[in-house]
Amino acid sequence: MLHWNFVEIFSDLTSYVYGVVELPIEPTREVRVAVYKLFFYNTPYEAFDVLASIRFRLFFFSEE
């Protein structure tokens, strides 16, 4: 219920999802694009019906 209240209050706004991605390989452009696609394609369709847009802000790093 809490999530739906949040969505009702902030509907028609851009929602930002922040995160940190630790990879066992170097985060090249192709790797970052693949990870962003995974996030985008796994977002429920219902979220796009309510929110104006969803932006992913991810920090990539590897300990090589």
pTM over 0.75: no
DSSP tag of 24: S
Contacts within 8 Å (CB) and 24+ apart, 30-34:
31/60, 32/58, 32/60
Q: How confident is the model at residue 10 (pLDDT cuts 50, 70, 90)?
A: low
pLDDT for res 33: 95
Instruction: Check: CB of residue 22 under 8 Å from CB of residue 61.
Output: yes
Is the confidence at residue 38, as pLDDT, over 50? Answer: yes
pLDDT for res 1: 46
Instruction: Write out pLDDT tens, residues 21-35.
Output: 999 999 999 999 999
Residues 27-59 as b or e (16 or more Cβ within 10 Å = b): beeeeeeebeeeeeeeeeeeeeeebeeeeeeee
pLDDT for res 27: 94
User: Domain extents for the chain?
Assistant: 2-62
